[in-house]
Amino acid sequence: MSLFESIVVLHVICGTVGLVSFWVPIAVVKGGASHRSWGQIAARAFMAAGVLAIAMALLSLFGPEQRLPMIKDRVLFRGLFGWMMLYLGMLTLSFADYGLSVVRHRSRREALRRPRHQLVFAAVTVSALNCGVYGLWTGQPLMALVALIGLIATATQLFYIWRARPPRGGHVAEHFRSLLGMGISAYTAFLSVGLIRLVPDHVFNPVIWAIPSIIGVALIAWFTFGRARAAAGSLR
């Protein structure tokens, strides 16, 4: 088994663990033991899958062998299995890391301003811009749209970190949105990059690409409005 094939196997294992365990913290009581333990499992699995996705992307872009020779459009291949996989891997890793860190440092946001966290944000921004530009250059606007989502998410996270006075309990909303974003980016990678192996004719079907974002945004809206109703009720 080659290095690339070994990485693919490990990536599938980590991704499967993350994709399955991701739903447990959403379903169980928030803040409980199951929520915390399963949330850690999902986040760590996605972080490992993200690192492995970055490794696969770099090997696809700069490795000595031509990956998936059945794909004749090598420009599309570099876009999906190279630059977009690199970006989605970085985005998944960033979402998971921030989602855990924002709770760990909820009482001292200055810890999130350290170079280690800021470098992750910078890497996501650069990879998103590269993915978006490549998508526009090759006539694949969906790549640019996916990149835009990451840029918006990074901007909102930086705004929370650097703002003077965040809202009370703001770290909870940041935590929830980030880990949902982690799931959205992972499922998008699964449906887009993985889909070409099964049904390549539908790899840029916008309906398929939209499924993770629709579900994720619906959950974010449900959580946000639910918190607003709870806050309004507590003021009565």
pLDDT band at 117 (very low <50, low <70, confident <90, very high): very high
pLDDT tens profile 185-204: 787 777 666 665 666 666 66
pLDDT greater than 60 at residue 234? no
Task: Specify the range with the lowest mean pLDDT, choosing from 133-147, 182-196, 206-220.
Answer: 206-220
pLDDT tens profile 71-96: 677 787 788 888 988 998 999 999 99
Residue entry with tokens 């998944």: 92
Q: For the whole prediction, is pTM greater than 0.85?
A: no
* Percent of the chain clearing pLDDT 90 (strictly above): 28
Under 8 Å between Cβ of 4 and 59 = yes
Among the ranges 66-80, 131-145, 213-227, which has the highest mean pLDDT value? 131-145
- Mean pLDDT, the chain, rounded, equals 81
User: And the tokens for 199?
Assistant: 């049904």
Structural domain boundaries in the chain: 3-234
- Cα separation of 230 and 62, whole Å? 52
